[in-house]
Structure 1
């Protein structure tokens, strides 16, 4: 009699565990479960992208400050004559060929 009682309790426990696992698996593979996982991944990617953008912004500001120091001698904005803004083109004038900078498309 004690042996039958043991197998009854063991079977009930095992059955409960199997039902629990099946319900959890069904929830995970339901549309809401899949959407939740996708949402989590998108949130992780957004956080990583935000961190990457902040790193790029910091590096850009650091480089910009370095260029300002190099070309203006301090932390102020550089003179327009120190940094060429356009492409160099050959211009033939009365004194021969000279390099001049041409403003074109902001490059």
Structure 2
């Protein structure tokens, strides 16, 4: 008799456990849950890409400083003007037209400049 009660309880417990597990899995496969999981994965991937980009930028600045020191261009690395030889795609420097969106006015400022630099990676270097 105890043996039958034991196996009956074990079977009931296994049935409850299996039902709970199946219900959880079904809830994970609803469209809303799948959309939330996809959004979370996209956010994680975005954060990983941002961290990667920041690491690349830091290492690039470090390597540029090392190369500048090796080539004797220490002043340009520390924020001074860059020699023209280091800017192969630069053509001219022109003032930027600043737009005040609150008043709809445009004025020219001699303090802001934009370099016309080609960022086309398909050019022959």
What TM-score, normalized to structure 2? Answer: 0.55
Q: 1:76 to 1:17 in 2, by over 3 A?
A: closer
Name the counterpart of 1:3. 3
Name the counterpart of 1:60. 60
CA distance in 2, matches of 1:37, 1:12: 33
1:40-90 CA-to-partner distances (Å, cap 9, x unmatched) read 311221121011110121123224434554354433524545x26456xxx
Name the counterpart of 2:38. 38
Higher helix residue share:
1
1:77 matched to 2:88? The reply is no
Name the counterpart of 1:51. 51
Q: Return structure 1 stretches of 4+ with deviation > 6 angstroms.
A: none
Can you give the 5+ residue segments of structure 2 that lack an aligned partner in the other structure? Answer: 93-115, 119-125
Q: 1:41 to 1:14 in 2, by over 3 A?
A: same
CA distance in 2, matches of 1:42, 1:48: 10
CA shift, 1:28, in A, is: 1.4
CA shift, 1:39, in A, is: 2.5
RMSD of aligned C-alpha atoms? 2.9
Can you give the 5+ residue segments of structure 1 that lack an aligned partner in the other structure? Answer: 88-101
Q: 1:71 to 1:106 in 2, by over 3 A?
A: farther
